[in-house]
Amino acid sequence: MHYKIRKLDGRYSYREYFKYCIIFDPRMNPEHKGILWFNDTKLWFEQAYGYSAEIKEWHAMLKYHHKFGSFVEGSELAHHVNLSWSWTNGYDDLRIYIKGDKELGFFKLANPVDSRS
DSSP 70-95: ---TTSTGGGT--TTEEEEEETTEEE
Tens digit of pLDDT for each residue in 27-61? Answer: 777 777 889 999 999 999 999 999 999 999 999 88
The total of structural domains in the chain comes to 1
Give 106's contacts (C-beta < 8 A, 6+ positions apart). 48
- Whether 116 maps to a domain, the answer reads no
112 — pLDDT class (breaks 50, 70, 90)? confident
User: Smallest Cα–Cα separation from 96: which of 9, 21, 20, 6?
Assistant: 21
- Whether 115 maps to a domain, the answer reads no
Domain that holds residue 66: 4-110
Tens digit of pLDDT for each residue in 69-92? Answer: 655 555 566 677 899 999 999 877
Q: What average pLDDT score do residues 11-38 get?
A: 89
- Whether 41 maps to a domain, the answer reads yes
- Whether 37 maps to a domain, the answer reads yes
